Structure formats: C-alpha cells, structure tokens
A and B are shown apart, each in its own frame.
Chain A
Amino acid sequence: MSDVLVSLVKIFVALGWFLILTLYLTWVERKESAVLQDRIGANRASVFGLRIFGLFQPFADAIKMIFKEDFVPAFANKVLHTLAPFVSFFFVAVTITAMPFGDDIVLGGKTLSLQVFDPSVGLLYVLAMLSLGIYGIILSGWASRNRFALLGSVRGAAQLISYEVALGLSLIGLIMVFPSLRMSEIVRFQGGTVLGFLPRWGVFLQPLGFALFFIAALAETKRVPFDLPEGESEIIGFFAEYGGLKWGLFMMTDFMEIIVVSALIATLFFGGWQVPWLAADGFHWPWGGHWALAKWLVIALQVLAFQVKVVFFCWLQILIRWTYPRFRYDQLMDLGWKLLVPLGLLNILGTGLIMSL
C-alpha cells in the first residue's frame, strides 16, 4: 500500500516538475531569444502591477489558450483530430518517469529511489516512447484533411524515422561501454574517473557518439534547424488545423521534448546526477585531498547537479534554435543518412576496436 502511495507521490512530483519546467521554458525561450537579439522580450504580464520580468507570461498565455474556441473543422475526422495532440503529449510525458533525478535516499531503513520507475530496459523505453510520439504528428496531419497539414506530417514522419536510425546508432557505442540499459546504473557507472582526473562521463568516453546523439536529438525535437514538419514560413505544418488548447498541447510537446532531450543528454553523456569527483562521502580531488561532506548535502548537491545540467542543455537548445536557419529537406536527409549514419557506424567500429584492445 505504502509502495503505491510512494509511487503516486513520485509520479505527481515528477510530472509537476516536468510541466512547471515546460511552462517556464516558454518564458525562457522568449526571454533568451530577446536577450541574444538585443531585445527585452515579454515583460508586460503583471499581477497587481507586479511584473517580475514577465514571469506571469506563461500563465497569461495559458489562460488565453484555454478561453479560445475549441474548434474542429467540419471536414476533419473528429475523433482522430481530437486524439492526436493527446497522443503527442502522452508519449513525451511518460518518458520523464525513467529519468533518475538523484541517488537512492535511505529514509528510516527504507530505500527511496529518486526515479518513478527503473525498468531494466530504461534507455530503450525512453527511445521507444519518443518514437511513438510520431503517431501524434501523423494522426494530426491525416485527421485534419488539409494538404499542408498532411505534407507536414509526412515530412515529420520521414524525418523522425530517419533520425531515429542515427539516434539509435549513436547510442550503440555508449551501450557497449556502459554495463546496462538501466538508467540508474548508467548514471551510477559514470561516478568514477578515467585517467585519474576526468569524470567518467559518457561525453569523455564517447565524444563522437555525443556529437551524433546531440544532432539527432535536436532533429527529434523538430525545432528550428530541423523544423520541417512545422515549416512556419512555407507550410504551416501538421497542426495547421488546430487552435486553442489543442495547439497549445502540440507547443507544449515541443518544449517537453527539449526537456526530455536535455535530461537524456545529461543522464547518458554528462553523468546524470553525478557531480565531478563527488562520492558518497564527499569530494575526492584528483590532485589529492579529500573534502568530507554530510550525507544530505551530497544528495542535495547531486539533485541540484541534475537540474543544472538539464537547464543548461535546455538553454543550449534554445540558443541553437535562435541561431540557425532551417535546413532544406534534401540537406536534412543528406545530413541524416550520409553523415550521421556512417559516422555512427564508424563510432561503433572504433568503440569495438578500442574495447577489444
């Protein structure tokens, strides 16, 4: 009984964290883009004259979207049209359950893992759920019966499926190095050091794998350098026939994908909740010396480290989104099949050779 309760609490906390971060990522996106274009960004939303840098803007946006008409075009397939945003949203939302937020906590003799559930195929589970998100895109374009929407979803399907290959290949090297597909063990494995001073993070073990994974993962979020399914300026994209909160769900899915990709990068390549040189009893500096820390402080630092890494990669992805123009479709496919896939295979070969030495 208490186990169920603990699981429920974990689900609520994880989902709450996820959605709040999503909400504020819309604010971060607006503000960050403004700052790097010498603008100020949304700062007018206020409560009783209190503006605090437009931090109420996400709520204003949400209220606006809630009160818009929930419109389904007469020519659309009503059931599928309504279902599509929820499919998109659901398959992204469930991926957060497999992310380890911190090390196990021992509370009154009971071990509490800071992770909603930890399947032995955690990594595959996350990738599978991210791939299933494509169904939301395909359904929305198909059910809209709009040629531009369908064009967007066809592009989306082709893009995501081809980048899925590159994504998988870039991770195989990592899976060869790491002992397990279980997310918690992947993070725990990254605790030590290599060569005596480098933290044993995936990015140092698999630099090429990281670069490939990052590019492929950017394509998975289908945002600007890879935003062909949406293609604001040419076809409005797979959500052309959506408005109000359903459109908002698609938008939120985009931002949630950013967070999931950030969490994945942090977990797989940047040691998850590991702080460099921090073990359970404090810091062990590579130049010798030991700095003992209280147990609760270590756990707090580790949880904080995960948050910092996730927020940093969200920031980086938004920076990339506001820096680069969109690929042409053939360039996108070229990059995927002619560069990322061969390099991924090369990475596997290289990893295998080094490991067999």
Chain B
Amino acid sequence: MSQAFGYLWALLKGAAITTRHFVVNMWFHTLRLVGFKRFRPGAVTIQYPEVRKPLASRHRSLHRLVPRPDGKPRCVACLLCVTVCPSECIYVEAEEDPDADIQKTAGTFEIDLTRCCFCGFCVEACPEDAIRMDTGTIDLAARSRKDLFFDRGRLLR
C-alpha cells in the first residue's frame, strides 16, 4: 500500500515537472511576444535557416582554393591532395605557370562534392596551404548533381 502511494507521489511529481516547464516556457514565450526580449527565450530551439549557431573555428565546411595576390590559386599541382583523398573526389590537371619560381599550377581543379566525405585530409596534406575548408558554407543541398561539381572558378575565393 505504501509502495502504491510512493508511485502516486512520483506520478504527481512528474506531472508537476512538466506543468512547471509548460508554465515557465509559456511565460517567457508570452513575454517575448509582447516585446520583452531581454529575458531568456521560451525554448532552446535554434530556428536554423534564419538563426545560425556560430561555427567552431576548426569546423570543416565547403572547400576553397586560396588565391595568390595575382588571383591565381596557390596550388602547385603536387597532387598530394588527390593522393590522400579517401573518397577520390579531387581531380587536378597541372598547367605551366609563367612565373619561373613557381613553374607549375592547377589548370583544372575539381572537387566532386557528391563523393567528398569532408575528412579534411586534403587540407592537412597541402604543402602550400592552397586548399582550406573555412568558407563557413554548410548548406550544400543542390537540385542537380551537376551543381555539386565544384570547378576551379567556383572554388577560388
């Protein structure tokens, strides 16, 4: 019998907890609705497309090719990123660079994002710091596969 009352007490306590959450959250929702934005919001939800959480500085987002001062990519087409890439999604074709100190650069640089697993090995491997994953672009949905093939022009920024 005492056990049964223990259960009943626990049930009431549970109901009190959910009721408290409801009342407190409703109170803050109402406050915000009528314009008191200094208080905490009524929910912990982040309304994603409109409100975004700041990304961590080491977050791996969409790749970019880092340009030299003259606008060409820093890439010297050493193919280390192509070699290390576990999903084999990078395609590089070398090109002669008129600058005698550099000699080689990437004429074609393509990343197939339909295959990329965002491991960041290409960034680690690059001796020239030519590829980085710091654009902060994380919404990469596209309407066609074609839109997910990033060529040199789209990567260079």
Contacts and interface: CB of A to CB of B under 8 A. Distances in A.
Interface of A: 32, 34-40, 319-320, 322-324, 339
11 contacts: A34-B43, A36-B18, A38-B21, A38-B45, A39-B43, A39-B45, A40-B47, A319-B19, A319-B22, A320-B15, A323-B15
Contacts of A324: 11, 14
A45 to B, nearest CB: 14
A37 B21 contact: yes
A32 B45 CA distance: 15
A39 B18 CA distance: 13
Interface residues of B, number: 17
B60 interface: no
B152 interface: no
B61 interface: no
A4 to B, nearest CB: 45
A34 B41 CA distance: 13
Contacts, number: 40
Contact of B21 (A35, A40, A320, A339): A35
Contacts of A35: 21-22, 25-26, 29, 42-43
B44 interface: yes
A35 B45 CA distance: 11
Given A35-B25, A35-B42, A322 B47 contact: no
A38 B44 CA distance: 6
| Best-surrounded residue of A32, A323, A339 (most CB of chain B within 10 A) | A323
Give chain B's interface secondary structure class.
helix
B150 to A, nearest CB: 30
Contacts of B45: 38-40
Please provide the 8 A-B residue pairs with the shortest distance between their CB atoms, ordered closest to farther: A36-B22, A40-B45, A323-B18, A36-B21, A40-B43, A35-B25, A36-B18, A38-B44
Contacts of A323: 14-15, 17-18
Contacts of B18: 36, 319, 322-323
A75 B22 CA distance: 46
A319 B18 CA distance: 7
Contacts of B15: 319-320, 323
Contacts of A34: 43
Nearest to A37: B21
Interface string B1-23: 00010000001001101110110
Given A35-B43, A319-B19, 19 more contacts: A35-B21, A35-B25, A35-B42, A36-B21, A36-B22, A36-B25, A37-B21, A38-B21, A38-B25, A38-B44, A38-B45, A39-B43, A39-B44, A39-B45, A40-B47, A322-B18, A323-B18, A324-B14, A339-B4
Contacts of B29: 35
Contacts of A339: 4
A254 B45 CA distance: 29
Contacts of A38: 21, 25, 42-45
Nearest to B46: A40
